[in-house]
Amino acid sequence: MNGIKEKIAAAARQLGNEATVGFPEAVVVEAGALSRVAPFMKERGYGRPLLVADEHTLAAAGRTVAAGLAGAGFPENATLVKPNAQGDVVADEASIVQVILDLQKSGADAIVVAGSGTLHDIARYAAYTTRLPFVSVPTAASVDGFTSRGAPILIRGEKITVQAIGPTAIFADLAVMSRAPAALTAAGFADMLGKYTSLFDWKFGSLTAGESYNEAVAGITEQALRDCVEHADLIGRRTEDGIRVLTEALIDSGLAMLVFGQSHPASGAEHHLSHYWEMEYIRTGKRQLLHGAKVGAACAEIAGLYRGLEMGEYAPNEAAAAELRVALRNIPDPDALRGLLRRVGGPSSVSELGVSGELLARSLREAHRVRPNRFTLLRAYNEKKAAGQQKPVR
């Protein structure tokens, strides 16, 4: 990861935030990385770390981490986040308060979180609220949010992203992550595939609404996406090399967001559809779908919509329209995107995912309101349509 570290550092210097961005002190992506957690905690002088996991991630990596901490002389100190009534562990008020109460009760001075995206969101907000550092131990290459300083959490069933902190260190054990359920690996690949439309939406927002944009950060995300697509077969077979490529790409994507300070490089209309579906499933009491799996299916739908629109109708001038047409050609057609999703063994369509046609249609009309501060092409399309100015999709 040395080359990408240099590019990320260069982007931070360009943006003038190198001193404040808060990069992890250590990023370890290798087989056996779990054995390096306890020595790191010892070197940094922590005395009472709290291990945060759930029943599945405890078995995957948590027990090994706990044994390593105990062997290094740390007191046993762990909390298992409880699932909701539907059996899902979710980043909501109850989960966050559970962790905060255990932090207070144990007198912990740091958090070690063993898990994937949801547990990281719970831990990073609990750490931010209690002003404690946290160390990341991913158990699956399923999301790109391990390095994020924002936490998407559910408050009374509504998904919002709140200020949090990034990890002090990341220890991604390839042996552990290669054994993760295939669906989680496919979800991580699908989360990366969503960068096709998120990068376009970022460019669109910059050209039509003056949103801040940075070519260096976009380039980091584009390279991470290309790496995943080029290694799709290895990722689908969950070889150690494939998992390494995917894990490093997810971390790079997260670092790109960290440097930029917002989620624009990695989250556009495809993520807004995913969040909309999540809130609907919570409202109706349904079991949750994997975040990345939703993003991948949504990306194909958004690609189909966007490729049928004429950029001249949305751009402020012909120069911007021409630039948007070039950016649009970088988005594969929906069939190509679905073919990539099938290559890694994930759901390749909304119907295969289990999202109804009615929910899809409603989300295409309304999901842009999930992030009202973002100006995506989906938002522009719906606003033009509401104003009676939208021509039929080609």
Other beta carbons less than 10 A from residue 351's beta carbon: 12
Q: Which residues contact 159 (CB under 8 A, 6 or more apart)?
A: 152, 153, 275, 278, 279, 370
Cα atoms in the Cβ-side hemisphere of radius 13 Å centred on 315: 19
Q: What is the pLDDT of residue 394?
A: 47
Token pair listed for 389: 């100015």
Going from the C-alpha of 165 to that of each of 10, 134, 261, 288, 328, the distances in angstroms are 22, 8, 12, 25, 34
Give the integer Cα–Cα distance in Å for 213 and 218.
8
Q: What whole-number distance in Å separates Cα of residue 103 and Cα of residue 128?
A: 12
What pLDDT, on a 0 to 100 scale, did the predictor assign at position 21? 63
> Do 148 and 254 contact (CB within 8 A), yes or no?
yes
Contact predicate 323/207, CB 8 Å: yes
Name, in order, each residue with C-beta under 8 angstroms of 56's C-beta and a sequence gap of 6 or more. Answer: none
Q: How many CA atoms lie within 13 A of 349 on its CB side?
A: 6
Residue 261: predicted pLDDT: 85
Question: Which regions of the chain does DSSP assign to beta strands (E)?
Answer: 26-30, 49-53, 78-80, 110-115, 134-138, 150-155, 158-163, 169-173
Spell out the residues 6+ positions from residue 218 whose beta carbon is closer than 8 angstroms to its own: 199, 202, 203, 265
**pLDDT tens digits in sequence order for the chain, 394 residues long:** 545 667 777 777 788 776 566 789 999 999 999 999 999 999 999 999 999 999 999 999 999 999 999 999 999 999 999 999 889 999 999 999 999 999 999 999 999 999 998 999 999 999 999 999 999 999 999 999 888 888 889 898 888 888 899 999 999 999 999 999 999 999 999 999 999 999 999 999 999 999 999 999 999 999 999 999 999 999 999 999 999 999 999 999 998 988 898 889 999 999 999 999 999 998 999 999 999 999 999 999 999 999 999 999 999 999 999 999 999 999 999 999 999 999 999 999 999 999 999 999 999 999 999 999 999 999 999 999 999 865 554 4
Q: What single-letter DSSP state applies at residue 116?
A: S
CB 27 within 8 A of CB 251: yes
- For residue 73, which of 103, 39, 104 has the smallest C-alpha distance? 39
pLDDT on residue 12: 73
What pLDDT does 167 receive?
A: 94
